[in-house]
Amino acid sequence: MHCVCHFVPADVLKRFANDPTLPQALRSSQDDTLRVDAEFRNLRRQANRLTQVAGLTMAAPAQQPSGPPTVTVFTCNHSQSLPGTQTPDPGSSPDATVKNVFDETTALAKFYKEAFNRDSIDNANMALLSSIHYGSKYNNAFWNGSQMTYGDGDSELFIDFSKGNDVIGHELTHGVTQYSLQLNYDDDAGGLNESLSDCFGSMFRQWQASQTADQADWLIGADIIGPAAKARGFTCLRDMANPGASHCLAPQPTNYSQITPGMDPHYSSGPPNLAFCTACKIAGGESWKGIGKVWYEVLTRSGSHPNMRMKDFAHRTRNAAAHLFPGNNALQNAVDQGWKHVGL
């Protein structure tokens, strides 16, 4: 687990930091973000390990949750002290970022409850804590194992990271994975970890917009791309329907055979992303009602598998499709064709 689940991969920030055509102040903000991100890697690794150990040694009988999870929002006021100062009544805050994070986090909890009958990210009504206005021109967002943190961006390459509902869905889904499949963050498991966050982040975006798989744009991070990045032809961070496209800030491989040992999970997630998107489009309809339920079943009903291989995950989704939708040959075929499309 040598990487941390920041939304923007390190190499994208490094590329901008070393770009001589960018103003020095803009390049410096990328360097600053990289240094901060590096310090959070150990925190995330330790949080995941603690969750794994506690689940094995201190697991208590599940209690019946009562109502939606508590959602709190803190502001760092551009400091790097977490969690910051709690904001009162965030749902009606005059700070647009506070209100948006409260509303979108609340909506995500509702999405998981209505679509998958899950009570918060741990399925035990865990309170959802978010910190905003982190640092100065901080170009990222992350789940650190216990809470969410959002930077405001530098206003040129990236804007406020909380403006992307798929960003919020993506990062909080790392928490769901932490409390279910418990995937490590390297090799096949790392790619699956990132892919699951993209899949559920995209589904959350589609669910809010009442979109079918055919209507969705399948872009990840489109809402946080700044004007300077757009001027260079970038429209998103990733594209689940076309992972290798040039309009992506972080183009990905499209076939499992292209994944190499040690590849950053933000890139090795390309093939399973494409498999999921392809399956959803073949099946048609609303992703969270069909293919999404299959992916959720494997994510949450398989137990802890920190080193799961993509081939194993694909096999489990094929079995889950047959189990959940025994009379729906079209959906089962969609899952199968999705994986075959990427060489699995």
Q: Which pLDDT does position 10 carry in this prediction?
A: 85
Our answer to whether residue 266 is catalytic in this structure is: yes
pLDDT band at 250 (very low <50, low <70, confident <90, very high): very high
Q: CB of 247 within 8 A of CB of 333?
A: no
**Span 178-236, pLDDT tens digits:** 999 999 999 999 999 999 999 999 999 999 999 999 999 999 999 999 999 999 999 99
Instruction: Please give the Cα distance from 47 to 58 (Å, whole number).
Output: 15
Our answer to whether residue 297 is catalytic in this structure is: no
CATH fold for domain 187-341 = Neutral Protease; domain 2 (1.10.390)
Domain definitions of the chain by residue range: 187-341
Q: Which pLDDT does position 2 carry in this prediction?
A: 37
Q: Which pLDDT does position 259 carry in this prediction?
A: 97
pTM of the entire structure?
0.91
Q: What angle do CA 184, 287, 4 make, to 5 degrees?
A: 20
With a cut of 80, say whether residue 129 has pLDDT above it: yes
Q: Which pLDDT does position 16 carry in this prediction?
A: 86
> Which of 44-58, 181-195, 252-266 has the lowest average pLDDT?
44-58
Instruction: Please give the Cα distance from 30 to 28 (Å, whole number).
Output: 5
pLDDT (average), residues 19-29: 86
Instruction: Please give the Cα distance from 15 to 30 (Å, whole number).
Output: 9
Helices then strands, each counted (H, E), the chain: 11, 7
DSSP 206-223: HHHHT--TTT---EESGG
Query: Within 13 Å, how many C-alpha atoms sit on residue 308's CB side?
Result: 24
Catalytic residue among 133, 174, 266, 305: 266
Catalytic residue among 171, 194, 286, 297: 171
Q: Which pLDDT does position 240 carry in this prediction?
A: 98
Residue 119 makes CB contacts below 8 A (sequence gap 6+) with 65, 69, 112, 113, 125
pLDDT band at 26 (very low <50, low <70, confident <90, very high): confident
Name the strand (E) or helix (H) holding 130: strand 128-132
> Which of 24-33, 157-166, 231-240 has the lowest average pLDDT?
24-33
Q: Which pLDDT does position 6 carry in this prediction?
A: 82
**Span 60-99, pLDDT tens digits:** 445 566 689 999 999 999 999 999 999 999 999 999 999 9
Question: Mean pLDDT score of the chain, rounded to an integer?
Answer: 91
More confident of the two residues 58 and 168:
168
